[in-house]
Chain A
Amino acid sequence: MPTNASTSLSFGKKAAELVREIVESDPETLPPYNADAMRTIVEQCGDHRAEIVTLAPDASEDATRVGLLAHHQAILRNKRAMLVYLNERVGRVKEMRWSVGMGLPESASANMSHGERTFFTKYAETLNEYMRAVDLDLTLDLEPPQNHKIQVRCLEDHGEIFTRDGTVDLKKNTVHLLWREEAQPLIREGVLEQMDDE
């Protein structure tokens, strides 16, 4: 290989590492967005591109053509790897809309890139719009329902809430019997805790 200025070329090695990083992480978690690796891979693509431009005039030679192809494939491979990385993370970001609701916990949002936070907002909006259109909150009842009312314990002072049966004052450590549908969002927020009724 001719020694060029760009010694950073690894022909997809860095990208493979990035994919491995996300695949080997716990699917329930969202590891910090690896912005450094992404930037390095983008730079490598630029370097591959520069190689292609340098080699292009000699494309009539077989050896050069092989080189051109290798660089081109390396960029494609990097691109694929980046998309795999992003896509896997997008899946986990979406999951949060279902499991924790609209408000992202600080710990999760700190691990996201700016683009991912934007995506989360847009995804949540799209989903909300859909749920308004069908007039049904789909984030409720992710598990088959048992009872239409559930006993809950209050974990923090939340003030009064309006329910179908009138107002309920949610004071810390008080126990209430609430409608499932009304209690679920508060359980998710951590205000209430469901008590075992089995």
Chain B
Amino acid sequence: MADDDGYGFHLGHDDDDAVEPSAYAPEGEDDADGLDERTMNLDEGFEPTTSAVMMLKRAWVLERLCPEMRAYAASTFEDVRTRTDARVEQLERRARERAESGGGGAEEESEKLMDHLMWIEVNRVRYIMREYLRTRLHKIETHALHVLTDADTFAKLSEAEQKFAEGYIEALQGHFEDVLKDLPEGYRDMMVEYSGEADEEATAQKMIPKPNLDAFVIFRMREDVPNFVQPNGETIELERGQVMLAQYSRFRDLLAFDPPKAELV
């Protein structure tokens, strides 16, 4: 960002308004000056590289749309936090200085207005930070048992989230099994349906709610992928800008690339 502190808040929001509508423009022929409209539709306002805040916003949107847990965006989050805290400190210092100097003046009025606008941005950013963490906590709670028992998923959590998941299950298990303890022997475990079963592992799986990886989501291709091999073995040709409604499990591999070859919208 050209902005000296690299904050670039205002850009993020303006871009959304300016760029989003064009994303719905009809898929047209190539433009007169040779520009592929389909390519243009990939709003660069959504480009994950512009600023830390935009990256966090993307992480949040993806987290909301993705059926399974995504890896915790630790560095992005801390980056945004550091910048926001620095900005708050600066705003508070300026307010103090104004109070001390006491004088009015047109210059000070305009500075006050600027500060006011910046406070609004700070609040927006903090809202995104909170929403991001809240979204993740909610997903952790929904599939807490799965999160704890599946090593891959557990590794995607931040340390604080791992502790939260453990504490949550402890509370839940204590509560459920306090009621189940009065059932006949063999039926008292909340994860094992009946412990006398030959295949305990299988019955345990039955009792653990899992994220639905076959849920339908909307993908948008960010790159051409000429021959993508789907999980069922079939090859498909994917073009940049293409929008698909499909089961998450079918194209989830495209999201794993860095930068991702597809995004959820």
Interface size on A, residues (CB 8 A): 39
- Using a CB–CB cutoff of 8 Å, the interface residues on chain A facing chain B are 38, 42, 45-46, 48-49, 72, 75-76, 79, 82-83, 86-87, 90, 94, 115-116, 118-119, 122-123, 125-127, 129-130, 133-134, 136, 138, 140-141, 144-145, 147-148, 164, 180
How many residues on B have C-beta within 8 angstroms of the other chain's C-beta atoms?
Answer: 38
Q: Which residue in A42, A82, A136, A147 is a CB contact (below 8 Å) of B133?
A: A136
Q: Which residues of A contact B98 (CB under 8 A)?
A: none
Q: Which of A76, A118, A123, A147 contacts B168 (CB 8 A)?
A: A123
B interface residues (Cβ-Cβ under 8 A, vs A): 92, 116, 119-120, 122-124, 126-127, 129-130, 133-134, 137, 141, 159-161, 163-164, 167-168, 170-172, 174-176, 178-180, 182-184, 187, 190, 193-194
Chain A residues lying within 8 Å of B123, measured Cβ to Cβ, are: 141, 145, 148, 180
Chain B positions within 8 Å of A180 at CB level: 123
A125 to B163, CA, bound (A): 12
Structural contact, A125 and B184, CB atoms closer than 8 A: no
Chain A residues closer than 8 Å to B164, beta-carbon distance? 126-127, 129-130
Give CA–CA (A79, B174) in the complex, Å.
16
Looking across the interface, which residue of chain B has its beta carbon closest to that of A119? B175
Q: Tell me whether A115 and B163 are in contact (CB under 8 A).
A: no
Find chain B residues with CB under 8 A from A147 CB.
Answer: 120
Contact B179 A82 (CB under 8 A): yes
- Tell me if B129 and A136 are in contact (CB < 8 A): yes
- How far is B140's CA from A123's CA once the two chains are assembled, in angstroms? 13
- Nearest CB on B from A185, distance (A): 14
Contact for A76 among B122, B130, B159, B193, CB less than 8 A: B193
What are 26 A-B contacts defined by CB distance under 8 Å?
A38-B179, A42-B182, A45-B183, A46-B183, A46-B184, A49-B184, A75-B184, A76-B193, A86-B175, A90-B175, A122-B174, A125-B167, A126-B163, A126-B164, A126-B168, A130-B137, A130-B167, A133-B160, A136-B129, A138-B130, A138-B133, A138-B134, A138-B137, A140-B130, A145-B124, A148-B116
